[in-house]
Amino acid sequence: MIVGRTDLAVLKPFRIGAAEPWRFSAWHGAALAAALIVAVGIGEAQAAPGTPGIVATILKWTPLLAQGFALNIAMSFLAMAIGTVIGVPLGLAQISLLPPVRAGSWFVTQFFRNSPWLVLLFYCMLLLPFEFRIGHTIVPLPGWLKSTIGLSLPVMANMAELVRGAVRSISFGQWEAADSLAMTRAQTLRMIILPQCVKRMTPPWMNLYAILTVATPLTSVVGVSEAMTLTGDILSSEGRSELLVPMYLYLLLWFFLYCYPIARATLALEKRFAVK
């Protein structure tokens, strides 16, 4: 029987591809680079005689852009750290044996998971004070930090869902075996269930990080001087319309170059874990 060539739908190989989350692929990078080259070419053609070239202008501003991009990365790191550290206990609270804890953590998770990221950003920007006091020291809370907290909220909620899903994906037999060995629930979670979850959660966790990173330019709306805001500043100071498209494509390329290796690593890990 030739499985590959059949009209019977059930015999066709099952493809999981359709259910896979969206990821950066090499094609996106190639398309982006091609678009950038074309845009630069068009820009050069449109440029008024005597003005500096598009490439030279882009290179001139690259150090400033890099500074802004470093802030994007810093915010993504910090938001991921905060979101993970709070998200894990929040996810575990959802499998608590106490109904109020379960219900409360479920509500918090759903609330932050289903709120638009931008709305959460505005809330944090407007509701958090610009500084607060611990004893006699005044701790300033700059805008970028406030928006990082805003970004960490949906990360936290998504992380909680990852934890809950991973715990539930572990077979019930593991709990029964641990129970029959007189292990406590805490011991079972710590030594049996969670170690198995870490492996399952790593690829989606990395995926979440990539999503968070490409979401950091949202903070430009609330005035954080990250790469997106700086690109706007650069364009307005140059005041040249032919620079607009190449400049934003250049910024896109930065994000692609940062996120693509993460996407590849995620895919590689998923493949490796899928075997066992």
Partner 1 sequence: MVWTPDQPLVSLRAVFKSFRGVEVLKGVSMEVMQGQVICIIGPSGSGKSTLLRCVNALVPIDSGSILVEGQEVNDDKLDKLALRRKVGMVFQQYNLFPHKTALENVMMAPIHVLKRDRKEVEAQAHALIAKVRLQGKEDAYPGELSGGQQQRIAIARSLAMNPDIMLFDEVTAALDPETVKDVLVTIRELAADGMTCMIVTHEMGFAREVANEVYFTDGGVLVEHAPPKQFFASPRDPRTRQFLDQIL
- Give contact residues for partner 1 (rule: CB under 8 A): 171, 173-174, 176-184, 187, 191-192, 195-196, 199, 276
- Please, what is the minimum distance in Å from the beta carbon of residue 177 to partner 1? 4
Closer by beta carbon to partner 1, 20 or else 179? 179
- Please, what is the minimum distance in Å from the beta carbon of residue 272 to partner 1? 13
Closer by beta carbon to partner 1, 41 or else 195? 195
The residue among 234, 243, 218 whose CA lies nearest residue 36 is 243
Q: Are 255 and 231 spatial neighbours (Cβ–Cβ below 8 Å)?
A: no
Q: What does the alpha-carbon distance between residue 128 and residue 149 come to, in Å, rounded to a whole number? A: 10
Closer by beta carbon to partner 1, 131 or else 179? 179
- Please, what is the minimum distance in Å from the beta carbon of residue 194 to partner 1? 10
Closer by beta carbon to partner 1, 136 or else 276? 276
Q: Are 226 and 72 spatial neighbours (Cβ–Cβ below 8 Å)?
A: yes
Q: Following DSSP, what letter does each residue of 133-196 receive, concatenated?
A: EETTEEEE--HHHHHHHHHHHHHHHHHHHHHHHHHHHS-HHHHHHHHHTT--HHHIIIIIIHHH
If residue 131 lies in a helix (H) or strand (E), which one and from where to where? strand 131-134
What number of residues does the chain have?
A: 276
Q: Are 249 and 35 spatial neighbours (Cβ–Cβ below 8 Å)?
A: yes
- Please, what is the minimum distance in Å from the beta carbon of residue 179 to partner 1? 6
The residue among 39, 83, 48, 63 whose CA lies nearest residue 254 is 63
- Please, what is the minimum distance in Å from the beta carbon of residue 238 to partner 1? 56
Closer by beta carbon to partner 1, 171 or else 237? 171
Closer by beta carbon to partner 1, 20 or else 176? 176
- Please, what is the minimum distance in Å from the beta carbon of residue 223 to partner 1? 47
